[in-house]
Structure 1
C-alpha cells in the first residue's frame, strides 16, 4: 500500500520510522531514502548502523535548499534518489520503503509530480511505500491508501526551545 504523512506538524518522519520498527518485529526489511538530507548525526542515521533490518540512505546534501530556485546539484540529487527509489520498489529490495521528504520535493516541483504518481500507482502493490514531508500534492493523496495530515497545534520551538538530539532529529 501507499502511505502518505504530510502536514505542518511535527512527526511525519517519526511516524514512518514507527512503521519501520513494527515491521522489524516481523522480520521485515526497511529501506529509507532521505531526500534533502545528508547529516550523519540525525538520530535515524546514527541508529541505522545498529539495526540490521533497517537501511538508511541520505540522497540529499547537508545544505540549505532554495525551493524557489533550487541548485542544479539538488535537482540532480533528487533525480538520482528517485531513480534509486524506483529500482528499489520495482525489485522489492525491502518490504517497507520510506521516501522521506518526497512530498516537499514534489510540492516544489524538484521532481515531476505526475511521473512519480504514475510510477507509484503502477508499483505501489509491490511493497509498502511511505512518503513523508509537508505539502503532499493532491495527485499523490488521491492514489494513496492511507493519508495522515499532521497539523501543528502547539510546538515548543515557538518558546525558543531548539531542536533536541534524539527527540527532534
Structure 2
C-alpha cells in the first residue's frame, strides 16, 4: 500500500500493518493537511515521489495487489496528473489487482475500473464537534 497525502503513524492501517507479515505500507506525504487551493511545493514533490514508488511496485512483478490509498484525493488536489494514472492503469500487468482509494475519483477512472464503490457520510459525530477518537477513527 502506498499512502498519498499521509505521513503519520497514527492511521489504523499503519498500526495494524505490523500484524500482517506480507503487507507493506509506504507513506508519501506530511503529517500536516494539504491546502487544496494552494498546495505547498513539498506536497507536490511527495506525491510525485509516491507515484514513482507506486509505478515501481506495480511493474516490478513482486506483488499481486497494490493499493494506492487516497490517490483520488491527490488527483483532486492537483498533486498528480490524471493522464499519468490512466497510463499506469492501462499498462499494468493483467494479473495485478490495482486498488485506488479516496473521495472525488475522476469520472475518467470509472470507465477503466472493474469495480467502483462509494462510501458516504449520512451522519457523523464530527459535524457536532466530536473529535476523532483513538480506537474508532484512528
TM-score range, shorter chain: over 0.9
**Which residue of 99, 108, 114 corresponds with 2:77?**
108
**Is 2:104 the partner of 1:135?**
yes
Report how many residues are paired: 138
Of 82-91 and 125-134, more deviation after overlay is shown by: 125-134
Distance change in 2, residues 1:134/1:96 (3 Å) = same
Of 136-145 and 88-97, more deviation after overlay is shown by: 88-97
Query: RMSD of aligned C-alpha atoms?
Result: 1.4
More strand by share: 1
TM-score (ref. length: structure 1): 0.76
- For structure 1, the residue ranges without an aligned partner over 5 or more in a row are 1-31
Q: Match of 1:130, SS?
A: strand
- For structure 2, the residue ranges without an aligned partner over 5 or more in a row are none
> Deviation of residue 124 (structure 1)?
5.6
Question: Which deviations, in whole Å up to 9, do the C-alpha atoms of 1:87-120 show, x marking residues without a partner?
Answer: 1001133222111110011122211101111221
Q: Which has the higher contact order (CA 8 A, sep 6+)?
A: 1
**Is 2:18 the partner of 1:71?**
no
TM-score (ref. length: structure 2): 0.92
Contact 1:43/1:165 (8 A) holds in 2: no
